[in-house]
Amino acid sequence: DWSMAAFRDAKIAEIRAQVGDSRVICGLSGGVDSSVVAVLLHEAIGDQLTCVFVDTGLLRMGEAQQVVDLFRKHYNIPLIHRDASDLFLGELDGVTDPEAKRKIIGRLFIDVFQEEADKIQDAGFLAQGTLYPDVIESVSFSGGPSVTIKSHHNVGGLPEKMNLKLVEPLRELFKDEVRILGRELGLPDDFVGRHPFPGPGLAIRIPGAVTKEKADILRKADAIYLEEIRNEGLYDSIWQAFAVLLPVKTVGVMGDARTYDHVLALRAVTSVDGMTADSYPFDHAFLSRVATRIINEVRGINRVVYDITSKPPGTIEWE
């Protein structure tokens, strides 16, 4: 009789048998998958686990702090928090091509992760949140931007270089099953129910060159949008919702002054697996409220538009 509780117990036994008394390193991204892996490993091997969280500076509002609070304070899991935001933003300076952004971020992520992991004594294993769809996707897709999906979460090539073996306890699971397992392990509901977030983060939600100033503007607008979605009780009906800061300025009017500021696009989609998607049919009153709040509260944005493109022909992200 299959249940998630039985799966959890079986995995815990399997992990113990696999790693023995070796130390395991787990990279945390702030996302659901790596968080579930970390908590599962913590249950299995306690303080033989060390987590490494590489902060790219491209996360959403408050996200880095949430990760640190949850793992270090709540779970008391040893966590190395490396703030590498200056490094990432520096290397991204002037880069506009979406795939070039991904490559830079992926390479830096591995470099920084390795630097931190090298300091951990006696590590024998690297734990990763590889899911069943990742296992399939890595063999069956070619061409187009989605080839690089997850390219930087799954720190490719690193285990061999560091002489580490892999622990991938989620390899048989789909995303919805990972969420069930997360709840089974006692992860907070709002953490487990989080929308997917791409590894390259806000860098691919700022078409054109990424700057700290733009990332800060986007973070504020995105937080307002998500807050309104949560307040309306819509968060769990949406697969993914986010804002995109466009490299276009338009004219507006504020009081009796002319403004010349960025356009912000809002995106929200329903989807089963991210492979196809439809734009979420918000009512206009909701969208107007969000637009008004963003323009009033965020300096640097004076116009808001809603993206109604399906996938295909669009993608979920704009880059």
Q: What residues are designated binding site for ATP?
A: 29-35
Q: Tell me how far, at minimum, the Cβ of 155 lies from ligand XMP, in Å.
A: 12
Question: Taking the alpha carbons of 83, 167, 114, 51 in that order, is the dihedral positive or negative?
Answer: positive
**Whether 111 contacts 87, CB under 8 Å:** no
| Nearer of residues 48 and 151 to ligand XMP, judged by Cβ | 151
| Nearer of residues 242 and 282 to ligand XMP, judged by Cβ | 242
Q: Tell me how far, at minimum, the Cβ of 146 lies from ligand XMP, in Å.
A: 4
- C-alpha pair distances (Å), 294 with each of 232, 263, 266: 16, 11, 11
**Whether 10 contacts 113, CB under 8 Å:** no
**Whether 200 contacts 152, CB under 8 Å:** yes
- What's the CA angle centered on 311, arms 64 and 173, to 5 degrees? 55
Q: Tell me how far, at minimum, the Cβ of 239 lies from ligand XMP, in Å.
A: 8
**Binding interface with ligand XMP (CB under 6 A):** 102, 145-146, 148-150, 153, 196, 198-200, 240, 274, 311, 315-317
Q: Tell me how far, at minimum, the Cβ of 110 lies from ligand XMP, in Å.
A: 14
| Nearer of residues 31 and 182 to ligand XMP, judged by Cβ | 31
Q: Tell me how far, at minimum, the Cβ of 124 lies from ligand XMP, in Å.
A: 26
Q: Tell me how far, at minimum, the Cβ of 43 lies from ligand XMP, in Å.
A: 26
| Nearer of residues 159 and 196 to ligand XMP, judged by Cβ | 196
The tokens for 187 are 């992860």
| Nearer of residues 45 and 149 to ligand XMP, judged by Cβ | 149
Annotated binding site: 29-35
- C-alpha pair distances (Å), 27 with each of 138, 229, 258, 274: 20, 29, 47, 23
**Whether 146 contacts 108, CB under 8 Å:** no
**Whether 207 contacts 247, CB under 8 Å:** yes
List CB contacts of 109: < 8 A, sequence separation 6 or more. Answer: 54, 56, 152, 155, 199
| Nearer of residues 13 and 272 to ligand XMP, judged by Cβ | 272
